[in-house]
Structures are given as C-alpha cells and as structure tokens.
Amino acid sequence: MKKVLVTGAKGQLGSCFKEIDDNFKNKLSFHYTSKGDLDITNSFEVESYFMSYKFDFCINCAAYTAVDRAENDQENAYKINVEGVKNIVKSCKEHNTTLIHISTDFVFDGKSNHPYNEEGSTNPISIYGKTKLEGEKVIISEFEKYYIIRTSWLYSEFGNNFVKTMLKLADSRSQLEVINDQIGTPTYAKNLAEVILKLINKKKTDFGIYNYSNEGVASWYDFAKAVFEIKDKNIKVEAIPTKSFPTPAKRPPFSILNKTKIKQNLELEIPYWRDSLRICLDKI
C-alpha cells in the first residue's frame, strides 16, 4: 500500500482529501499534517518525519495564501512558500518520494488575451505570486519526480473562501459591490483533490507542470451572482471595476488556464464551474 503525506491538511484542499480518501484506502495510506504536526519551514522536522514514514507521495498543500497580508509580511510568505518547499524537495529526493505541489494562477500577470498554458511566460505582480513562483523554480531546478499543479479561484465548503464570504455578507446586507473586470475560473477544491488522486492511481510518470481549474469563464461578479441565485438569496449585486476596490496586492486581471495537457494525460472530463458550485452549495 502506497503511503501519501498531505501537508497543510487543515486548509480547503487538505480537508477535501479527508472527505474522499475512503474511496482510495484499499490502495493508499494517508497521513495528514498541519503546522502543529509538521512545520515545513523546519528542515530537521521535515526530514525526521519523512525518515519515520518513508512516503511514496507528498501532496504539498501547505502555503502562505493570505494574498494581501503577504505584501507587508514578505519574510513569512517567503519562508513558507520557498524555504518550506526547499525542505520538502530535499526530503523527497532523499527518500524517493514523488512530490505533488499545489501552485497558483498568480504566477501570471494577467496581461494575456488567451488562456495560459503550462509554458506561458510567468510574471507575478504580487508577493504571494512571486513566492509561489520561486517555490516552483526550486522544485524544477532540484528535483525530477514532481507534478506542479496550478489552479485558480479555489473554494469549498471548508475554510475561508469567496463563496462562504458572499453567503455571510448576504445574511447582513441587501446590496453588494463585486469586481467585474477580473476574469478567471472558479475551482471546486474537491474536484482538484479527485484529479490529484487519479493522477496517483494511474501511476503516470509524465512529470512536470499542469494546469487545473473547472471549465468555463467568470468574473468575480458572475461568481457572486451564481452563488446568490443558487442559494436563492435576495441581494442586489452591483458590478464595479478593480480601480474602485483597491487592495494591497495586485490581482491578475485575466487568469484563465488552458487545461489541454492534464485532460489528455488523464483522459479527464472536467466539470463546468456552475455545476460544481451547485454541488458545493448543497453541502454548505
């Protein structure tokens, strides 16, 4: 039975793995860690943990993801998203562990007019994006047995995310302003978790970078409207431009991902974002 380490297990994606791992427990043995169990920024701690369990796969969901806070907390963002990744890569190499690392659409600047493929030019415009890209570069330069999966606009019934924020605001407001000039694709974290486990179980060795999001295109305005329509929330939503809602960190205005590579390699049919949103909202 293959042993799988899931770091950052209290986050959205880690929580989704816990939801579906029963379907794979006859093939995979899961070990879940949060910062309290395993501090990825501590190289000795990481190596000791790998030494104890001899993992076949490491799914690294641990990350500094507070995009705006990172602008004034660069040291910690770098420590987790770069130094932490270095420690994991070192132990993966030492113990022949395949690494599956979660990355982001924030490695792009959003100036493209076409969906980004895996070879697209990266140019992050935020500290979060820059540290995530540096983490990718560490993996690529120091290891061979890796999958880097870039995803976008992740949400789920777990943790803090856009969907849950919108629902909370709908309970206290009658009107809301939401940005309509940032375009991307909402991604249900459970769908991403299922794809990652399919990747493990198909025993693919086509290592490298892969894009994954749900199908379709939306603005944050579209996303919010869909949440309220599906949950039958009576709230007026006004579309506004990004310049009317300045944030400490810049966001890529266009972050649609080309998923041809992962669809072909795994023979995937990726769900449409509104269909997955409906499933998620039924659970909230």
DSSP letter string, 200-227: HHTT----EEEE---BS-EEHHHHHHHH
Catalytic residue among 64, 116, 128, 212: 128
Structure-token pair, residue 199: 């990747």
Task: Check pLDDT > 80 for residue 203.
Answer: no
User: What mean pLDDT is predicted for residues 227-234?
Assistant: 96
Whether 128 sits among the annotated catalytic residues: the reply is yes
Mean pLDDT of the 179-207 span: 93
Burial classification of residue 114, based on how many CB atoms lie within 10 Å of its CB (0-12 exposed, 13-18 middle, 19 or more buried): exposed
pLDDT score recorded for residue 130: 98
Q: Judge whether residue 204 has pLDDT over 80.
A: no
Q: Is the pLDDT of residue 55 over 80?
A: yes
pLDDT at 91: 98
Query: Do residues 230 and 281 touch, judged by C-beta distance below 8 A?
Result: yes
Confidence of residue 93 (pLDDT cuts 50, 70, 90): very high
Across residues 66-83, what is the average pLDDT? 98
Structure tokens at 211: 């894009």
Range from 22-26, 64-68, 136-140, 146-150 carrying the lowest mean pLDDT: 22-26
- Tokens 């972050």 locate to 255
In the chain, % of residues over pLDDT 90: 94
Say if residue 162's pLDDT is above 80: yes
- H/E segment holding residue 148: strand 146-151
Q: Is 174 left (phi over 0), alpha (psi -120 to 50) or beta?
A: alpha
Amino acid at 36: G
Nearest to 215 by CA among 257, 255, 273: 273
What is the structure's pLDDT at 24?
Answer: 84
pLDDT at 81 over 90: yes
Q: How far apart are CA 73 and CA 106, in angstroms?
A: 17
Lowest mean pLDDT among 75-79, 150-154, 171-175, 184-188: 171-175
User: What number of other Cβ atoms are within 10 A of residue 269's Cβ?
Assistant: 7
Mean pLDDT of 118-147: 97
pTM equals 0.96
Greater confidence, 1 or 258?
Answer: 258
